[in-house]
Amino acid sequence: MKGMFPRTRNLESSFRLIRGTCVVVIVGAFCLCGYVFFTASEAVSRAQARIYILSSGKAMEAVAGERKENIPVEARDQVRSFHLLFFTLDPDEKVIEGNLGRALYLADGSARRVYENLKESGYYAGVISANISQRLTIDSVRLDLSGYPYYFRCYGQETIIRTTSIVTRDLVTEGYLRDVLRSDNNPHGFLIERWRVVENRDLKVEQR
């Protein structure tokens, strides 16, 4: 009987050693899984923060930021894009319709009313028949982000090129911006509301 006790103690010691080893292995496995999960989550987050912009057939990487950080930049670009599309005209019906069609996706019915009034008055027909080209240079866009919808005022100059003259006009417009869902037709996710022309007067006329 006495000879059995050392063997029993050896078995108990071996069992404790195996049990301890298993516990260490299991804990280590859980720690490794946690580390792998954390590392994978960080990698996914970094990948999602990358945006690829297609420019001239090349993919360029950009960094995504919070919507609030980009509001001033995107809002000004929305206003610029709308005005450049709305006021850039050439004596070509397809060019006029294409530019105005894209512009009207960025604004509500207030812009469509201005367009329809100009169309009914024969303005666009006159551009085509008289071979007139019209360009707009944006001087500045002032934003007020203290309230919502966001108020803006746009300052620019129109250049109207006729066969015999070049007319430069001062242009001031104002309106409001509200959030909408982004789309291919409205990538910044803003809609221009209550848009109106505040000032549009001749500054100078040059004979050609």
DSSP string, 108-170: -HHHHHHHHHHHHTTHHHHHHHTT-EEEEEEEEEEEETTSSSEEEEEEEEEEEE-SSEEEEEE
Residue 90 shares a structural domain with residue 100: yes
pLDDT, averaged across the chain: 85
The CATH number given to whatever domain includes residue 107 is: 3.10.450.230
Q: Which two tokens stand for residue 198?
A: 């505040």
- Which domain, by its residues, includes 134? 66-207
- Which residue, of 39, 64, 89, is where some domain finishes? 64
Residue 87 shares a structural domain with residue 111: yes
Q: Where residue 17 falls among pLDDT bands split at 50, 70, 90?
A: confident
Does this model's pTM top 0.95?
Answer: no
* Chain segment 117-132, per-residue pLDDT in tens: 999 999 999 999 999 9
Closest to 114 (Cα-Cα) out of 83, 157, 147: 83
Residue 117 shares a structural domain with residue 194: yes
Residue 19 shares a structural domain with residue 54: yes
Please return the burial class of 128, using the count of CB atoms within 10 Å of its CB with bins 0-12, 13-18 and 19+.
Answer: middle
- Kind and range of the H or E element at 27? helix 4-48
Residue 44 shares a structural domain with residue 137: no
Residue 33 shares a structural domain with residue 77: no
Tokens 């206003």 sit on residue:
79
**DSSP assignment of 71-117:** HHHHHHHHHHHHHHHHH-B-S-HHHHHHHHHHHHTTB-HHHHHHHHH
Residue 63, pLDDT above cutoff 80:
no
Q: How many residues does the chain have?
A: 208
Residue 37, pLDDT above cutoff 50:
yes
Cα–Cα distance for residue pair 64/26, rounded to 1 Å: 39
Q: Where residue 51 falls among pLDDT bands split at 50, 70, 90?
A: low
- Which residue, of 13, 39, 64, is where some domain finishes? 64
Q: In which order are the strands placed within the sheet that holds 150-161?
A: 133-144, 150-161, 165-179, 190-207
* Chain segment 146-197, per-residue pLDDT in tens: 999 999 999 999 999 999 999 999 999 999 999 999 999 999 999 999 999 9
Residue 108 shares a structural domain with residue 54: no
Residue 58 shares a structural domain with residue 78: no
The pLDDT value recorded for residue 92 is 96
| Count of domains forming the chain | 2
Residue 156 shares a structural domain with residue 182: yes
* 196 contacts 174 by C-beta, under 8 angstroms: yes
Closest to 82 (Cα-Cα) out of 197, 171, 186, 181: 186
Residue 25 shares a structural domain with residue 46: yes
Q: Where residue 85 falls among pLDDT bands split at 50, 70, 90?
A: very high
Residue 117 shares a structural domain with residue 38: no
The pLDDT value recorded for residue 19 is 73
The pLDDT value recorded for residue 36 is 73
- Which residue, of 64, 90, 112, is where some domain finishes? 64
The pLDDT value recorded for residue 204 is 95
Q: SS in 3 state form for 9-25? A: HHHHHHHHHHHHHHHHH
Residue 84 shares a structural domain with residue 29: no
